[in-house]
Every structure is written in structure tokens, then in C-alpha cells.
Amino acid sequence: MSRLVNLVHVKVAEGYLDKIQDAMLTNARQSVLEENCHQFDVVVSQEDDHSFVFYEVYEDKAALDAHRKTAHFLAYWKLIGELGDNIQRSAQLYTLLD
């Protein structure tokens, strides 16, 4: 079975980077400890230090669903909600080609 890739784009408004960057990295570091999370990279644009991409690889949709119930994800998601319009986020699912 092919693995599931979650590609997330995040744009943080000026003045809010310090509030979210640690949470993004904590979420990523904790996520790779999950049994069926194979990779979770956070990269920042070389042209815009407020633009990020998350590259997440899960065994399957059930693993992604389980990830979204973890304490570290829920803490990150709560912060996203608190930042409101100061953060833009979009995500798209892909299938990793074998």
C-alpha cells in the first residue's frame, strides 16, 4: 500500500512568527515519534521567512487521523485557532509513488 503525504503550506503574518515557530517544530518532532508517521519536515522559504511547508508522510489515512488526535497536534491546532487571520494555512493530500 502506498503511503499518504500531507503537504501543508503555512504563511504567518509579521509579528507572529515567535508565537508559532516553536509550536510547529514541537509538533513535527513529536509527530515522528508516532508509530505510523514516517517523516515530518518543516521547511522555511529562502525568499520569505514567514512562509513554511510541512512535508508529512504517514502509513495511511488512519495514521493521519490518529495524528490529529494527539496532544501535540491539538496544542498546535489550538494556537492556529488563536492566531486567526494572522496565519494562513492550506493542506493537500498526496499518494507517495513507490
Q: For 29-48, how does the pLDDT look when each residue is reduced to its tens digit (9 = 90+)? A: 999 999 999 999 999 999 99
- Which residues, at least 6 apart from 28, have a Cβ–Cβ distance to it below 8 Å? 40, 41, 42, 54
How wide is the angle at C-alpha 19 spanned by C-alphas 18 and 21, nearest 5°?
65
Domain membership of residue 78 as a residue range: 4-95
Q: In CATH, what number is assigned to the domain containing residue 63?
A: 3.30.70.100
On whether the pTM is more than 0.85, the answer is yes
Q: How many domains is the chain built from?
A: 1
Q: For 49-97, how does the pLDDT look when each residue is reduced to its tens digit (9 = 90+)? A: 999 999 999 999 999 999 999 999 999 999 999 999 999 999 999 999 9
